[in-house]
Amino acid sequence: MTKKHISRVLNVVFILTVVLFMLDNVPSFDIKNQVLKSFTYYGVMILAPLMLVWNLLVLKTRRLKILGSILPAIFTLAFVIVGPMSIVFWSGSWKTQTILYQNGHLGFKRVEFQKQDIGALGYNQRTVEVIYLTNLFMIISPVDKDVDNLIEWAKVNEEVNELGLKYP
């Protein structure tokens, strides 16, 4: 492969990881799959400075160097400001612990209690309404306060424990 082909492949992979990273940071969209989420977060952290250097050194014209370096420079600067450890803590996917309610009309829509492992800092917790797009992606929204009173929701209280936590 030539440098031109390697540049194209690396830039396409970088742009795809940036798109996934940006989508995951939209408040109502989450990456459910831990492998994909880790690949996205660690990939952007590693590829941003790598692509910055690669595009500055390998691309031929000044115009291509500038255009190819803008996005990697922005992400590299953002990671330096935010800090890599914050990004690492954000890279954990939310795991379903309990399915509280199931929608009677739409089987892929439920209210779940979820936890996110944030390493030595413990776990984040949330109760959200979830719509699964695929096994990889989900759309979340806040739960209505009166979910008990709504007809379309059936109380399930099914333990899932995707984190594998042992409860006393």
Digits of tens for pLDDT over the chain (168 positions)? 788 889 899 999 999 999 999 999 999 999 999 999 999 999 999 999 999 999 999 888 899 889 889 999 999 999 999 988 888 888 889 999 999 999 888 888 999 999 998 888 888 999 999 999 998 999 999 987 877 777 788 888 888 888 777 765
- Asked if the structure places residue 165 within a domain, the reply is no
Same domain for 153 and 123? yes
Same domain for 134 and 82? no
Write out the residue range of the structural domain in which residue 119 sits. 93-159
Residues 54, 26: contact at Cβ < 8 Å?
no
Supply the pTM of this predicted model: 0.85
Same domain for 147 and 126? yes
Nearest in space to 123 (alpha carbons), one of 93, 154, 99, 153: 93
Same domain for 155 and 127? yes
Between the alpha carbon of residue 6 and those of residues 2, 18, 54, 72, the distances in Å are 6, 18, 10, 16
The total of other beta-carbon atoms located within 10 Å of residue 59's CB is: 19
Element (H, E) at 35: helix 34-58
Number of domains in the chain: 2
